[in-house]
Structures are given as structure tokens and as C-alpha cells.
Structure 1
């Protein structure tokens, strides 16, 4: 059957009353997953399937709207908050357009928030209940993210609140709703739903519908599928967790195949990231192992000295180059690093 990603029951961290032995088992399972490939499924997460199904249904209604209507919420109107809709092929990975359209969202914040990538969302008013459902989903997954980070802290023999104290008491939460329209395969060119990449932050929590297409590059195994599993999320660690752990835990490349199934595919990734102003540094006393020569993009997660926000801005400026000058204009928004 080949290599399969592990399935981890996180309920002992979600429920207040749980056996210590159950928590220790989860900690070990997460450590093993992060040491091997950095991907795992989560079950027992406590997020109601009704909420997920409602988000799925409302998202499909939005993507079924005509292009002119969807363009009323285009990212150009989101300014430096980096929120809104982008059309099919409007996002680049490794300089190539992804075969998906999407809606960029995040924590609902004030219009005059001083930081880039912070501010109000552009909620489509044509879909009744969409705003409330999105905000409820962001809140529930954010709470789940805190619980997973507790387990990750313990997996590194740290205090359970290590990440919360240093980076995620006020995390940067970014949410995407992606629609991979079904395509006709073109043998003349290599096209992907999303090209090969790693995620930038600490933790990604993804819900995917029943169509599938996600692929993970596992060391010594090559590309393997990460198919949908009912009532589960799939998690992966990002570049900042690789940086914090000195390379002990590696952010794993992944991609999404071109959707040729005849049906549109939805996915809901939430990125649970360090505070924008945080200076992310390796755990004190940990040995650093830089594998930049082996990484998909040949870059090092240890080479920058700025805040996480500055790292993120440079990365996403490559994803949406046409919006770079608008969304990355921080001249009037000085960023003060948070002490580690």
C-alpha cells in the first residue's frame, strides 16, 4: 500500500478532563510525525462537521457567482490588509500561476490597523450567512491551533506554553478558501493546482473536500498522496517551526495536482503563525542544521534577522507581484520588533 501519513487523535488536548497517558501518547505521535515528514491527520478535534459543511456550501455559492460579482471583492480593494478575491491563475507559486481561484481572509480587525496583512475582511454580501460562518470557523480553528501548539511544545521537551509565551499569544491567523475548478488536462504543459512549496509560518490546519489532490514529498519516498479522510484535518509544519527547532523538524514540500475530476474542489487552509512583530529564533541551546541546499527553493530559513512579518511580506510579494507595491507599502507603518 506504500507510505501513509499518521492519523492522530488530538481529543486529549481538546478536552479539559483527559488522562495524562493519553496526552503523552499524542505528544510522542506528533514528535514522530514531525521528525519523519512534518505532516499528520488530526481527528478528535472537536470542530463540528455541521460548521464545516455550512462553510463548504456557502463557499460553493460564492464561487458560482459570475466573475463580475466576485471582482467586487478583489484583493486590490483590500489594500495592505491583503484580503479579498483572486481569479483563476491569479496566485503564483515558484513564478507559475496556480490553477485555482480563492478568497483571502483573516482575523477581522479595524480598518486603521497599523500593520500590513491586518485589517477588515471583504465579505461577499450576496451569500447570506457567509460572514458569520467564516468568523466562527476562524475562531474554532484558532483554538484548535493553540491546542496543537501545546502538544508541539511538549514534543520538544519544552513547557506546554512555550510557543504561546514567545510567539502565539496573539498569533497571525490567515485563512484561505480555495476553489480548484475542474480543468481539461493539457499534455503540452505542466500545470498544478498549486506548485511545490513549503508554508511560511508555524502550523497549517487544512480541511479538504472529498475530491483530494494534495501530495506530500516524503524523504526517501518521493511524492505520496494525502487523500481526504472523513472528519479530519490535515496538519503540516512550516518554515518557522523548522527555524525554531534548528532544523530538527523540517517543513515539508507539498503541492496540489491539477483538478481534472469533472467537479470543483474546495480546500480551507488556516495558517497559525507567529505574531507579526515576533523575532523568531532557535530554541536556546539547540543545534542548528541548515539544509538549504536540499530545500525545494534552495533558501535558508535561518538567514534572515528581521521579524516574522518582514519574512512573510517578502515571501507573499512573490506570490502576488502585481499587488506588491500596494500591500507592502509600510512607509507609514513602522514595525517594532518584539523581544524574544
Structure 2
């Protein structure tokens, strides 16, 4: 077990003891707790996700995004309906009202059309739109295998976060994540100029994530930057690692002890395509988010004046799904009516 710093100064944590659920996991949990208090961001290594699986996903994703635009639009999000799945083109996603310079594929837990949550028309639940061309053979299976592996890592990391708060290891699983809401994105940031007249400043504009924990694999191009107490720092790729950050709901649950950290992605000018794979490990859609009782050192205050969006996450009281929908309706306003 090691704990060093990545080039950005963000912690680099060996989580093998958490993955193995061994006795040494308490020491790893303490490192994660320190990272959550100081930065809200940390890298994890020795995480147990197969490098060959990651490379297969990257290679197939590269093939998908190289397809002609009209071909990719056969799986556009408008066809995903309330499941909120599918492809969106360059500039098709907004952050803080401005288009991001990326294209992507939205995915999530695969549910059949006759699943009770789908029959109930529960937003962001349903079948995925998997591109199914001969040149993409195995893409669906690779995506599902990757999501399962990283979701399993998410369960182990949340056990570490629970232990770091002096809570039982199953605290979050018992209340929020026995059946987590898993949303997964495959993003491509092309290295090309923005067309004249398009109001684009970033690959992804400044934001915080909505839920509990984001587990991101980024390729070797880089571009992620994080707003730490010391200012904006780059979070460069570290081979074999995932970058993790906590979201608004963990901020809410801990009364601000663990803060969701703003981050953004610079426009890609490397001359190469950039790929990133964020998986969002979040509370169940119907789970009612509440503050952790008796948490030592939690400030529990309105910090909206300091936040990038002036929002008070500590005022939220309700289902996680309600918080999520209020956010995603601003990301794709043209699809808002599909989920609300």
C-alpha cells in the first residue's frame, strides 16, 4: 500500500487493500478521508480493473467516434427517450449554459423494457442505445463488462469513504447504494478548431458532479483541471490509475466536511483525439438524501456564496432523482421534456 502524490499534488492512493477487503483497508480509508477533506479529488491505483478491458473500450470508442456524423446520429439521444441514453454531437451538451467542445455517448445500467422501473417510466432508467455495426463487434459487451468492473470498484471505494468517517463499512450500501444509480459516459474531445461564431470556451466548463463518487479513466492526452484551495491545478493522466472525485450529495451528507470540488476540461489542442470515461456512482434514484447524524467536525453551513454556481446543496431535502433531474434538464434543454 502506497500513498504518494501525482504531478498535480493530488494524492495517489493504492487501494488494493480496499479491493481485497483486507484488514489493512483502514489505513487506505484514512488516506481517502484526508484527500476528501483537502481536495475532494484523488487518484487510485491497484484498483483491480483489467488494463486489457480498458484498452479494448478505448479502441472500440475510437472506432465509434471516427464514424461519419450521420452514422453516429442513428443512436442519438432523442431516440433514447426517458432513459436519457445515446449519442450527442459536438457542442450538443451545455455546462452553465454554454456548449462544451466534446461529443459523447450516454449510457447507464442496462434495464429491459419490461423492468418495473422502466414500465413506471422512471427517468434515466431503461435500455441503452448500443452501436451495433460489424466494425464495432463486441462494443456492447465491452461497455457492460467495464461498467460492472468499475461499479464493483465504486462499492469498495464507498466502503473506504464510510470507514474514513468512522462509520460502518456498509453505511452507504445500507442506505443509498445497494442498487446504485450508475450513469456512464464515453467522451471524445477532438483536436479541431471551434467553428466561427460558436460560444465555446472549454472542453467541459466548470462544474461539480451531482452524486456520491465519480470514477474517471482518462487517456494520455490530458486536460482535466481541478479548483483546489490553492487555485486551479492540472490533473494529468497517471498510467494505470483512475481519478476519483466526490459529488454534491456526499458534500450534503457530510455537512460540507467532504466538499464537491469544481473541475473543468480544457479544449483539446494536442493534435490527437482525447478520450475519457467517467462513471458516476450515485445514490439510488428513489433514495432520500440526509445528513449523516453525529458526524464530528462537519460544518453544516450555507456555503453557496463560495460555490461556482451559488447553489446551497445543504438545503436540498428529497429524493436523489429529483436533484439529478433538476441538473440534467439544464445540460440538454432540448431533451428536457423527455424526462420531466
Same fold? TM cut 0.5:
yes
| Structure 2 residue 198 is matched with structure 1 residue 196 | no
| Structure 2 residue 216 is matched with structure 1 residue 175 | no
Figure out how many residues of one structure are paired with residues of the other and give that number: 324
| Structure 2 residue 330 is matched with structure 1 residue 318 | yes
Question: Unaligned stretches of 5+ in structure 2?
Answer: 1-5
1:331 aligned partner: none
Asked if the contact 2:14–2:45 (Cα under 8 Å) also holds between the matched residues in 1, the reply is yes
Asked if the contact 1:100–1:193 (Cα under 8 Å) also holds between the matched residues in 2, the reply is yes
Question: Unaligned stretches of 5+ in structure 1?
Answer: 329-340
User: Could you state the TM-score of these two structures normalised by the residue count of structure 1?
Assistant: 0.92
1:8 aligned partner: 13
| Structure 2 residue 230 is matched with structure 1 residue 207 | no
Between the aligned partners of 1:233 and 1:43, the Cα distance in structure 2 is 7
Deviations 1:202-249 (A, max 9, x none): 000000000000000001x11100000000000000000000001100
User: Could you state the TM-score of these two structures normalised by the residue count of structure 2?
Assistant: 0.92
The root-mean-square deviation of aligned C-alpha atoms, in Å, is 1.6
Aligned 1:1-340 pairs, distance under 5 A? 4-16=9-21, 18=22, 20=23, 22-112=24-114, 113=118, 114=120, 115-126=122-133, 127-184=136-193, 191-219=201-229, 221-286=230-295, 287=298, 288-328=300-340
Asked if the contact 1:192–1:257 (Cα under 8 Å) also holds between the matched residues in 2, the reply is yes
Give, in angstroms, the shift of residue 303 of structure 1. 1.8
Asked if the contact 1:206–1:233 (Cα under 8 Å) also holds between the matched residues in 2, the reply is yes
Between the aligned partners of 2:161 and 2:7, the Cα distance in structure 1 is 27
Give, in angstroms, the shift of residue 13 of structure 1. 1.1
Between the aligned partners of 1:48 and 1:80, the Cα distance in structure 2 is 32
Asked if the contact 2:91–2:102 (Cα under 8 Å) also holds between the matched residues in 1, the reply is yes
